[in-house]
Amino acid sequence: MLKNKGITLIALVVTIVVLLILAGVSITAVFGENGIINGAQKAKDKTDETVEQEQEDVGKLVNQLEEFEREGLPDTVKEAIQKGTIFTLNKQIKDESGKTMTVPKGFKVKEGTSIDEGVVIADNEGNEFVWVPCEEGDYKKHDYEVKEVNDTSGTADGENKDKGWNTSYYRAYSDWKDDEIDETANKESVKNNGGFYIARYEAGVPKGASFYVDASSDNKTYQTSKDNIGTDLKPVSKKGVQAWNLISQINAKTVSGRMYNGETYGVRSQLVDGTAWDTVVTWMSEEYKGIEKDSTTYGNYANNTEIKEDNCLWAEHLYKFRKKNGSAVGWCIGKSYQYGAFTSGYKDNWTDTNNDASSKYNSYSSDTNTYKYKHHVEIATGASDNTKLKNIYDMAGNMYEYTTEYGYRGDTSSSKKYIVNRGGAFDYSGSGHPVSERNGNATNAFAGGVNSGFRVVLYVK
């Protein structure tokens, strides 16, 4: 019996020793220098190196193919216009003076031989934009002389508006910030490409919108539900369509970003920011001296009666005042657009000589003892070449234009963000509200007015 137990114990010991030996061999096979795990890791590292090298080789090949493709694209503005080439890649080209611009993927060069005069590009749907040349150091906001501005004085560059740029209904321009944009990316794009693009026209209403007016049809009803942006509406930058007004700044930002947000085009779109607006005005004022102080003869303003066109889409509106104390009451918005001749400017103390105003204007009252009216004209985008500078239309007058800028006036709650309008409108004067003006007296959620619109800006990717 003891003998059997001894044999069993010896067998157990031998078994354990064998198992330990096998375990050691297994561990060495798995974890040793030439083991399975190290072998697998080496294989993985080798595979990663191979993949990385292949990706590098593919990248080089793609770059070579892109360079080869770029070499086949036009090199000059003139050549690009003559050939009508749709660029398949972003490419820098030169004008006749040797200055450069970057034409983005998906666009063609449509008009203009001189970058200083404004070169126009267009996408395949006819939306047009103008190249704004600027070096990295020139892409900046205007530096006002006065840092704190009284809300009602409307001046920021000294005691006299005639000294320069001005603001209205806003305090402390240094508090203005650009909301929900990538300023770093914008600056990097300008640095790499030598400029950016601004919409040639005020943002227009797209055909897919319920409030679109077809100038060629009899349906020219003036719709007022223009803050309904749906899930796919985006603005157009085209000549001869109604400007997209009666929209909030929040929604203007949304639809501006929708315009170009994929890979089809070599740009990013957004609502124009304060830096871009100031840069464009500075560029314009270098050639057109004084427009930053007085833009009367340049835009559709109440005090400009010089713009006369025979064929244009336009609408007329009345602004109502209390007759006895002269206080403002609000708009009597026109019920329809017209297509034909118009003259800019306004008529004061307007009277309803034909007794048809109630059918032509919303909220009209025939109680002439209580109210007096001013008659104003809103014009379609790019209606007159008189409103064009550097190939850009209506930056002054016609519609006040939102930017991405906002600030606070006392209450810093998110619902009290006051936004900045630029450039004056058809019911203001070009001397008091020039293209440089910053006007901020409405919150970003306010669904705009009949005189408020917006404009898109593009940064090359």
Integer angstrom CA distances of residue 259 from 130, 253, 421: 16, 11, 21
Say whether pLDDT at 74 is over 90.
yes
pLDDT for the residue 2: 44
Strand spans (E) along 189-326: 195-199, 267-271, 308-322
**What is the DSSP secondary-structure string of 123-169?**
-TT--EEEEEE--GGG------S-SS--TTT---SSSSGGGS--EES
Cα separation, 290 vs 164, whole angstroms: 8
Q: What is the pLDDT of residues 387-401, one digit of tens each?
A: 999 999 999 999 999
Among candidates 246, 245, 270, which has minimal Cα distance to 256? 270
Min mean pLDDT across 55-64, 140-149, 226-235, 242-251 is at 55-64
Q: Could you tell me which residues come within 8 angstroms of residue 295 by beta carbon, excluding any fewer than 6 positions away?
A: 301, 396, 397, 423, 424, 430, 434, 435
Helices 183-193 and 274-287: angle between axes, nearest 10 degrees: 40
Confidence label for 71 from pLDDT (cuts 50, 70 and 90)? confident
pLDDT for the residue 7: 62
pLDDT for the residue 62: 53
Confidence label for 1 from pLDDT (cuts 50, 70 and 90)? very low
* Helix/strand/coil (H/E/C) assignment for every residue in 316-349: EEEEEEECCCCCEEEEECECECEEEEEECCCEEE
pLDDT for the residue 417: 83
Contact 398, 384 (CB under 8 A): no
pLDDT for the residue 175: 64
Q: Which amino acid is at 323?
A: K
pLDDT for the residue 403: 96
Measured CA angle at 126 (ends 125, 129), to 5 deg? 120
pLDDT for the residue 219: 82
Contact 244, 454 (CB under 8 A): yes
The percentage of residues in the chain with a pLDDT greater than 70, rounded to a whole number, is 82
Q: What is the pLDDT of residues 283-312, one digit of tens each?
A: 999 999 999 989 999 999 999 999 999 999
| Coil/strand/helix, residue 270 | strand
Q: What is the pLDDT of residues 325-377, one digit of tens each?
A: 999 999 999 999 999 999 999 998 888 888 899 999 999 998 888 999 999 99
Say whether pLDDT at 77 is over 60.
yes
DSSP state, residue 273: P
Cα separation, 143 vs 159, whole angstroms: 16
| Coil/strand/helix, residue 377 | strand
pLDDT for the residue 40: 63
Q: What are phi and psi of 24, to 5 degrees?
A: -60, -45
Q: Kindly list the domain boundaries of the chain, sorted by start residue.
A: 91-461
Q: What is the pLDDT of residues 129-163, one digit of tens each?
A: 999 999 989 999 988 777 666 655 666 776 555 56
Say whether pLDDT at 256 is over 60.
yes
Mean pLDDT (whole number) for 192-199: 98
| Mean pLDDT score of the chain | 87
Cα separation, 12 vs 15, whole angstroms: 5
Contact 411, 132 (CB under 8 A): no
pLDDT for the residue 51: 61
